[in-house]
Amino acid sequence: MNKINVNEKLISLWKKYYVEHPDDIKEEMKLVPMFYNESEYTPIKEIKVLSVGFNPSYVEDNYLNKKKVNEKLTEMHKWGNFVKEENVEEILKIDMALRSKVEGLEHLFYNKYFKPLNEFYDNIEIFKKNTVQKSHIDLFFIRGTDMKKAKELLVGKEKKVGYGKKYILLTDFAKEQLKVFKKMLDKYDPTIIFIFSALSSHIFLQEKDFLGGDQQIKDDGFYHYNGVPVILGPMLTNGVMDMISRNRLLWQINKFFNAA
């Protein structure tokens, strides 16, 4: 697949939004979108794991409350400051440090989310026996710890369409971000996809570009995207997924890979 300049696409999308909504800029739009290094969605290892959330948290506390603080970090992430210099590489290094430990920036690692995720991975047998490439990409690139506020820009409305099912009406702004996500997903070509977010799971399930719109579970107990098993579920953190459900899911995953 051809090279994808994800950050360039996101910057263009944000600029377009500002032009089209000059009088309706919500708090979350005052921040630069989440940036990704091409290495994070370029396949290197044979086993490639992808975890997917809804949108990235803005972990301002990491910037302000640590000993190795750089007071410029919060100012750098403000869109108004960014468009003056477009210092993509500097912000990109910080953003990568949120997802994986970067030397000298270990204090920025978002432990609250990624520690439970890595502990979950530690219980998957095939991951113990092989060198695994791990990446995390959210469906949407808009930063914000308050998911409700982010949803105001991404979700028009939610409609119940059956037992436990929802239809999520996405805004055009959200759909444009999903196109970028799909390009990254297809280039990365993961071995397995974990979507630990109830809302993201509903969206991934309904969108025809992903699971064909309400695709059925296969005989192995998983949904599949281009032959790749997809795990849809709630968040691992904050006790949303209970221990019994987590252990049952681990059993299912280990059984799947043992049979492969």
Delimit the domains of the chain by residue range: 6-259
Cα(36)–Cα(224) distance, integer angstroms: 25
Which residue in 53, 48, 50, 57 sits closest to 201, CA to CA? 53
For residue 211, which amino acid is it?
Answer: L
Query: Residue 14, class by beta-carbon neighbours within 10 Å (0-12 exposed, 13-18 middle, 19+ buried)?
Result: buried
In this prediction the pTM is 0.92
Predicted pLDDT of residue 138: 97
Predicted pLDDT of residue 70: 59
Predicted pLDDT of residue 40: 96
Predicted pLDDT of residue 71: 65
Which residue in 199, 52, 214 sits closest to 137, CA to CA? 52
The mean pLDDT of the chain is 88
Cα(123)–Cα(204) distance, integer angstroms: 25
Answer whether residue 14 shows pLDDT above 60: yes
Q: How many beta carbons lie within 10 A of that of residue 185, not counting itself?
A: 24
Answer whether residue 175 shows pLDDT above 80: yes
Give the model confidence (pLDDT) of 202-253 as tens digits: 999 999 899 887 678 999 889 999 999 999 988 887 767 889 999 999 999 9
Q: How far is CA 93 from CA 6, 89, 109, 183, 203, in A?
A: 15, 6, 12, 21, 29
Assign 25 a pLDDT band (cuts: 50, 70, 90).
Answer: confident
Assign 181 a pLDDT band (cuts: 50, 70, 90).
Answer: very high
- The helix/strand/coil state of 165 is strand
Q: How far is CA 161 from CA 56, 168, 210, 259, in A?
A: 28, 10, 19, 35
Q: How many beta carbons lie within 10 A of that of residue 102, not counting itself?
A: 15
Predicted pLDDT of residue 53: 94
